[in-house]
Chains A and B, each alone.
Chain A
Amino acid sequence: QKEVEQNSGPLSVPEGAIASLNCTYSDRGSQSFFWYRQYSGKSPELIMFIYSNGDKEDGRFTAQLNKASQYVSLLIRDSQPSDSATYLCAAGRYKLIFGTGTRLQVFP
């Protein structure tokens, strides 16, 4: 059974802090890795994608991939209350497996 695992949270961080979200995956054949943000009652919104080992930065977001450890992370710098949402990690090759998501709460 191919799985993607995330801590369900909630992860609570103060405004302006760095939020660190983590994800592990079981399928070593996975080639693509994605982070989606989902607000309650809304559809998932693509935040970051990464294909190669290392870091990828886009604005306040950094995705990190370590294929040897089968580990993906998302860092959110200068967290804002509007970042409060559930963050879904997804991994796969020809189809995506989603993790159950980590609920992030950013308090003022």
Chain B
Amino acid sequence: DTEVTQTPKHLVMGMTNKKSLKCEQHMGHRAMYWYKQKAKKPPELMFVYSYEKLSINESVPSRFSPECPNSSLLNLHLHALQPEDSALYLCASSQENNQPQHFGDGTRLSIL
């Protein structure tokens, strides 16, 4: 069990669907992250939120839209995804940026 909770664990969606991934932590961490991980590859950073403000966007396509409603929650809104977007999406949090990041179990996303 991890202290970073991600829902759903699995998601299958069509290319025209809109869905959201959710991430929650109650450790009082002020930095939260979204990563994308393809099979047998390392996690790739997508977005960083620090004190609820977007601080890093790694040139992610606009079909991925992050949102940080409060210090405990992080969402990733998905729209018009492509089959190559199928991957494990990982949320992580840390006390502050540059400190140890703790990962959730991830959402395994499949685009049909």
| A interface residues (Cβ-Cβ under 8 A, vs B) | 31-32, 34, 36, 42-46, 49, 88, 92-96, 98-101
B109 lies within 8 A of chain A by Cβ? no
Please state if A98 and B100 are interface contacts (CB–CB under 8 Å): no
User: Whole-angstrom distance from the CB of A10 to the nearest CB of chain B?
Assistant: 13
Partner of A43, one of B44, B55, B90: B90
Partner of B56, one of A49, A94, A100, A101: A94
Partner of A95, one of B41, B42, B45, B103: B45
**Nearest neighbor of B43 in chain A, beta-carbon distance:** A98
Contact mask for chain B residues 88-112; partner A; CB cutoff 8 A; 1 contact, 0 none: 1010000001111111111000000
Please state if B45 and A46 are interface contacts (CB–CB under 8 Å): no
Main secondary structure of the interface of B (DSSP, over half): loop
B2 lies within 8 A of chain A by Cβ? yes
- Of the listed residues A49, A88, A98, the one surrounded by the most CB atoms of chain B closer than 10 A to its CB is A98
Please state if B101 and A94 are interface contacts (CB–CB under 8 Å): no
Contact mask for chain B residues 43-65; partner A; CB cutoff 8 A; 1 contact, 0 none: 11100100000011010000000
Number of B interface residues in the complex (CB < 8 A) = 22
- Of the listed residues A42, A95, A99, the one surrounded by the most CB atoms of chain B closer than 10 A to its CB is A95
Residues of B within 8 A of A42 (CB): 105
Partner of B98, one of A32, A46, A98: A32
- Ordered by A's residue number, 24 sampled pairs between the chains whose C-beta atoms are within 8 Å are A31-B98, A32-B98, A34-B100, A34-B101, A42-B105, A43-B88, A43-B103, A43-B106, A44-B43, A44-B103, A45-B103, A46-B101, A49-B100, A94-B48, A94-B55, A94-B97, A95-B45, A95-B56, A95-B58, A96-B45, A96-B101, A98-B42, A100-B42, A101-B42
